[in-house]
Chain A
């Protein structure tokens, strides 16, 4: 879709630059004139919201690193120092912590939008896979960031998550000690997590650039799932979508601001305001809310399957739940992209959404009684949806007739 710009340099300076490094041409083609389907709804604004959140996290994060000390004796107090002493530190630290939650909320909306409108289907498989990679990097970054305040949840979260790697046969224990830099989570662990937590956002930014590149080759999917067929189907990105995205960002920042100013700790856990203690485990360990569905799946496997013990089984299921997203374009072979035209797909999709929310709820509950049974059922549906339901639906479903073009779906059939 490149080369859609009618850009011609108007003055000698631009002309000179265009022959050497066509920066202006590039921005014209990809930021201003990029042909964008004219029927994109507000679910499509979350891409821009996510880009904005990445900027917010990087800017606030760099500032926090100016005041933070990654040492087991000082880390906890340095975060308190930021919140109490540093000018506006309370707001900046709050924005970073709440920002992580808002970032994940937006990424979930973005992913579920893609799942509903079939945005992962050809020719957008690479675009989708890069998105999954970003999601994985985000989880790693958020986890390591949560360790930095060195509270009880930080310490025990780090202990539990690094312990996950010890489930790997043969090399597990050595790998765990390698990751921790010791036999237990300690200063070496905190230091490397700080280093990597600073590095990974820039890796994410690089993958985001690839993600947008992969988007700009086939162009946007849209609510009808019908490909763009003529310039009648599109609008230029600027000003139509820059303004729409900006409006959505403003609306998105209202609850963000509410959390920062009125309830900066409501999404956290009180145990993390107790300094890390390697001798006492909090009675109820929970990760941050955005990791709960995957945590629920990890815990759901409390039984051995053949030679795979319960611990390794849980780890396989948890990583599998994310890795399965990478192969989704080849599991759902239905030619119709948008769920709007797939009557059988839709109920299963919405059950999947509710199921995911149920897993989120179950991840926060103690692992006992009815909760463990429900967690097993929900984990089963999560995998059945991808492995059985989507491939079968693709074969048996009769989709509703698709509009001939995007402009027809917007304006009705021509007279």
Chain B
């Protein structure tokens, strides 16, 4: 058989390939559930939307709430902080975003962000750092009063969760 050069595929060749192909599909079908079980489960996904009443937060005060297991900053910014954030030219920013893009129209005093540093996930300390915003003690990232990255190893601004104001005081996150 080895000495004879074959020019056409035989029925047997076809059966080998077909069997192999069905085998691969079968194995993939069995393996996928074994892998996918590690992804976030239904009970975790079920926590993906919350409502929060911001009326009790005074100007200059921040609270940290929990959304999808992650800490979220809700900060009632002062006039000075808003002015400071608006005055920064975009060219100075590592991850450019205007202050308006960081907040909702008509609710500029509210800054709502996921509280994990975009470097490796520590929670930055509020009202500190040289840009009057947040300072991450883990690896030294500094954020400004709009939560934008200004200095240090973090690559991005603090992440904004999807949210909207249902009324003037009630926020729906997620």
**Residues of B116-147 whose CB lies within 8 A of A:** 116, 118-123, 125, 137-140
Measured CB to CB, the closest approach of chain B to A297, in angstroms, equals 13
Whether A159 touches B120, Cβ cut-off 8 Å, given contacts A278-B71, A367-B140, is yes
A280 — nearest CB in chain B belongs to which residue?
A: B123
Q: How many residues of B contact A (CB 8 A)?
A: 27
Q: Is the CB of A183 within 8 A of B38?
A: no
Contact among B44, B64, B138, B152 for A182, CB-based, below 8 A: B44
Measured CB to CB, the closest approach of chain A to B74, in angstroms, equals 13
Q: Is the CB of A182 within 8 A of B71?
A: no
Distance, CA A310 to CA B151, complexed state (A): 11
Q: Is the CB of A159 within 8 A of B41?
A: no
Which residues on the A side are within 8 Å of B116 (C-beta)? 159, 163
Q: Is the CB of B153 within 8 A of A183?
A: no
Contact with B along A152-165 (1 / 0, CB 8 A): 00001001101110
Which residues on the A side are within 8 Å of B152 (C-beta)? 302
B39 — nearest CB in chain A belongs to which residue?
A: A178
Which residues on the A side are within 8 Å of B121 (C-beta)? 159-160, 162-163
Q: Is the CB of A281 within 8 A of B123?
A: yes
Chain B binding surface, main DSSP class: loop
Distance, CA A156 to CA B153, complexed state (A): 18
Which residues on the A side are within 8 Å of B154 (C-beta)? 310-311
Q: Is A285 an interface residue (CB 8 A)?
A: yes
Whether A160 touches B69, Cβ cut-off 8 Å, given contacts A183-B44, A310-B155, is no
Q: Is the CB of A301 within 8 A of B153?
A: yes
Distance, CA A188 to CA B64, complexed state (A): 23
Measured CB to CB, the closest approach of chain B to A198, in angstroms, equals 16
Q: Is A288 an interface residue (CB 8 A)?
A: no
Q: Is B86 an interface residue (CB 8 A)?
A: no
Measured CB to CB, the closest approach of chain B to A149, in angstroms, equals 19
Whether A188 touches B71, Cβ cut-off 8 Å, given contacts A160-B122, A164-B120, A283-B137, is no
Q: Is B93 an interface residue (CB 8 A)?
A: no
Q: Is B100 an interface residue (CB 8 A)?
A: no
Contact with B along A132-169 (1 / 0, CB 8 A): 00000000000000000000000010011011100000
Which residues on the A side are within 8 Å of B123 (C-beta)? 279-281
Q: Is the CB of B122 within 8 A of A309?
A: no
Measured CB to CB, the closest approach of chain B to A180, in angstroms, equals 8
Which residues on the A side are within 8 Å of B66 (C-beta)? 278-279
Give the top 8 A-B pairs by smallest Cβ distance, nearest first: A184-B69, A163-B121, A309-B155, A302-B153, A281-B123, A183-B68, A160-B120, A163-B120
28 sample A-B contacts, Cβ–Cβ < 8 Å, listed by A number = A159-B120, A159-B122, A160-B122, A177-B40, A178-B39, A180-B40, A181-B39, A182-B41, A182-B68, A183-B69, A185-B69, A278-B66, A278-B69, A278-B71, A279-B71, A283-B137, A285-B122, A285-B137, A302-B140, A309-B155, A310-B154, A311-B120, A311-B154, A311-B155, A366-B137, A366-B140, A367-B139, A372-B140
